Amino acid sequence: MTNIAILGFGVVGSGVADLITNNYAEVKKFGGDDINIKYILDLRDFPDSPFSDRIVHDFNVILDDESVSVVIEVMGGSHPAYEFTVSSLKAGKSVITSNKEVVANFGDEFLKLANENRVSYRFEASVGGGIPVISPMISCISQNKIKEVRGILNGTTNYILTKMFTFGDSFEAALKDAQDKGYAERNPDADVLGIDAARKIVILSALATGSLVSVDGVYAEGITAIRKSDVLCAEKLGCSIKLLGRCVCTEDKPYIFVSPFMLRSDSALSGVCGVYNAVEVVGEPLGNVMFYGKGAGAGATASAVVGDLMQIMRYGAIANPVFTKSESVKDFSEFECERYFAFDIGAEDKISEIFGKVNFIESEECAFIAPKMSETCAKSRVEALSAIGVKLLSTIRIL
């Protein structure tokens, strides 16, 4: 019998309990053992829940029970998730989490503790919801030299951008629709400013490079500046616009950042729409491989959590990856790419003086694609035009 405890009985926690209960035969068959949800930790009582008799309010009840071998942390946030995770690992309990914030901030410490105490720390659900991407990166493709990991890592922003393309909505209208449908929080900043995606690309970059960098050191640009006119220009170019998290490996340090990109139609990520997520890994000798599926929701996230649970039940304390803490990120100002610009109408001659010959897009603005240049170079050219009275309306990187 495997006794487990669930920390947090919100959308994900209740989804985990329901999945274990409803698919008990399947979970037991692969896990090779009976499962008992012995405790569920939450501040609230749930008198109408079928799990009401498992609810406890004191974490120490779980910590002191030696029969509990696996703790599932689905609380969200850094604290007290951090303290509960450290205590559980030190007590010899394996920990499974869907909490990208705590993994991105403290994953190196947790993995070290797990290895020291011969238990598992698993976090498949922290990136991509139900998409199996972390386990393959740890095992199936870890023998490759990873050149890049890039992905659509946030379902809320992908839904908003899809609405803007499909129905011509403004950003504000698409955001409200996402909130009305429950895809976006009342305060959507973590999603639309790229913070959520930054945490996820930090986790994926650690799997690619072995180094866990600070989220605060990652350049993150969200989608709040994307306009309907940008969408129209992208369509004329045969492109879509997606918010990407990217880890681009170089000879020394990786570029790690989040930014909107115009994607050409031949990009594998271009057709990923709605609340779906996708992660593309470029490796040597593997080439390109993509993982795709629902990136959020109780069912998808619970599926990944219970998948980790079955692995622990079947194989015991699996060897954990090792992350080293690092501040070593390549200066984003050096990153080079093509980009789309839109300036005030009537500034063609001045633009050509600064950028050289460019092909303007048929538009109500002075819109064009500039050749590959660094962030520093792009900024200096925009500043040069601003100094002579030409206003930048929009710029989007191109992949």
Model pLDDT for residues 152-175, shown as the tens digit of each residue? 999 999 999 999 999 999 999 999
pLDDT at residue 317, rounded to an integer? 81
* Alpha-carbon span 334 to 315, nearest angstrom: 45
Per DSSP, what are the bridge partners of residue 284?
145
What domains, with CATH codes, occur in the chain? 2-129+298-322 (3.40.50.720), 135-293 (3.30.360.10), 335-398 (3.30.70.1150)
Q: Name the band, by pLDDT with cuts 50, 70 and 90, for residue 41.
A: very high
**Distance of alpha carbon 383 from alpha carbon 53, whole angstroms:** 64
CA distance 179 to 165: 18
Of the listed 200, 228, 242, 391, which one is catalytic? 200
Return the half-sphere exposure (C-beta side, CA atoms, 13 A cut-off) of residue 175: 17
Alpha-carbon span 204 to 77, nearest angstrom: 19
Share of the chain above pLDDT 90, in %: 94
**With 80 as the cut, is the pLDDT of residue 318 above it?**
no
The yes-or-no verdict on residue 239 having pLDDT over 80 is yes
pLDDT above 90: residue 297: no
CA torsion sign, 224 to 225 to 231 to 232?
positive
Contact predicate 309/27, CB 8 Å: yes
pLDDT (0 to 100) of residue 295: 85
360-381 pLDDT per residue, tens: 999 999 999 999 999 999 999 9
**Interval 241-285: pLDDT, tens:** 999 999 999 999 999 999 999 999 999 999 999 999 999 999 999
The pLDDT assigned to 385 comes to 98
DSSP string for 68-100: EEEEEE---SSTTHHHHHHHHHHTT-EEEE--H
User: Is the full-model pTM beyond 0.85?
Assistant: yes
pLDDT at 328: 84
200 catalytic? Reply is yes
Mean pLDDT of 116-139: 95
Write the single-letter amino acid at 258.
V
Arithmetic mean of pLDDT over the chain: 96
What pLDDT sits at residue 296? 80
In 10 A of CB 216, how many CB atoms? Answer: 10
- Which pLDDT band holds residue 319 (cuts at 50, 70, 90)? confident
| Distant-in-sequence, close-in-space partners of 180: CB < 8 Å, separation ≥ 6 | none
Residue range 71-96: mean pLDDT, rounded:
98
- The reported pLDDT for the residue numbered 209 is 95
Tell me which residue of 151, 148, 107, 114 sits closest to 131, measured CA to CA.
Answer: 151
